[in-house]
Amino acid sequence: MLRLPTLFLLILSVTLGACDSTPRPVRVGTNVWPGYEPLYLAREEGYLPDRDVRLVELPSATDVMNALSLGHIEAGALTLDEVLTLMADGEDLVVILIFDVSAGADVLMARAGISRLRELQDQRIAVEVTALGALMLQAALDQGGLTLDDVHVVAAPLNSHIKAWRENSIDAAVTFEPYATELEQAGAHRLFDSSAIKGQIVDVLAVQRSALEPFDHQLKVLVEAYFKARQQIINDREHAYQIMNQRLRLPPSEVSHMFDGLELPDRQHNFAMLSGEPSRLEQSARQLVDVMTRYELLNRHLFVNGISHPHFVERQP
């Protein structure tokens, strides 16, 4: 049994510890991708104080996903399908910001003799076994009036497509840059791209739901800094691109094309996509869940109601 002075000191130490505690920065994991680079532009320009936001640079999206699962970060920059994969594994995530929307960046390249989607029937189509690959393939088949049974799917990583093309072992491929240009140089042409399904392939900022309240201020700072950096890209493109390319390391000839095929939604567009019941993002998530379930890319069916959280993209007073 504790004596009274000992109990008093214990209570006092806990109370003083609580009083002395200072808010820590929200930790945000990213890998290298043009759509995420405005965050690093914001950091470089001083819009992101270290006391509020700590950007955690990780080698890949898989590492970001693992860090979220392990609680090493509170938020992560991910594609929507990666967010859904984490949710299927039990993570309670919400989307508070949309970084970019694929508007032509993801493509289906085909041989010169194939001029219509309908002509993909009985053709060999290389597709990486990812949700993005599945979504693009399914969308192309739907628009061509085809089903999976009408084509021969060749499961293959992106970096193997050009070799398969040159060996004449595929007739089409679902891909994106820089692989799309390699295929084009080898004789392929663009038959279908993500502009036809705009809004379905998006990169987002996902946050653990439990972190929303404790890090409310920090997340507001983060989102405001992002929009400030986005505006700087518009106002001083050359300077902004130079800073962002410190991480992207694109050849000089490609720097000006870093956002080709991508849209960076402004605050109003973000709010429009994240608001409503269901929101447009939730509608896209439902379609993606259906595709991922069909291709056995999710371990269970998901209900995505409540995934959108527009609070932080509302203009702050």
CA–CA–CA angle 302, 270, 103 (5° rounding): 80
Count up the domains in the chain and report the number: 2
Residue 300 has pLDDT above 50, yes or no: yes
- What is the structure's pLDDT at 20? 42
Name the 3-class secondary structure at 28: strand
Residue 101 has pLDDT above 80, yes or no: yes
Residue 166 has pLDDT above 80, yes or no: yes
User: Do 182 and 205 share a structural domain?
Assistant: no
CB-count burial class (<10 Å; 0-12, 13-18, 19+) for 216: middle
Residue 11 has pLDDT above 90, yes or no: no
User: Do 110 and 57 share a structural domain?
Assistant: no
User: Do 263 and 119 share a structural domain?
Assistant: no
Name the region of 199 (left: φ>0; alpha: ψ -120 to 50; beta: rest): left
Residue 4 has pLDDT above 50, yes or no: no
Residue ending a domain, choose from 153, 175, 197: 197
Tell me the C-alpha distance between 273 and 265, whole Å: 9
Return the C-alpha torsion angle 81, 86, 90, 94, nearest 10.
Answer: -70
Residue ending a domain, choose from 197, 219, 235: 197
**What range does the domain containing 238 cover?**
23-101+201-313
In degrees rounded to 5, what are phi and psi of residue 198? -55, 135
- What is the structure's pLDDT at 16? 40
Q: Please state the pTM of the whole predicted model.
A: 0.83
User: Do 305 and 266 share a structural domain?
Assistant: yes
Give the CATH number for residue 270. 3.40.190.10
Residue ending a domain, choose from 144, 168, 197: 197
Average pLDDT, the chain: 90
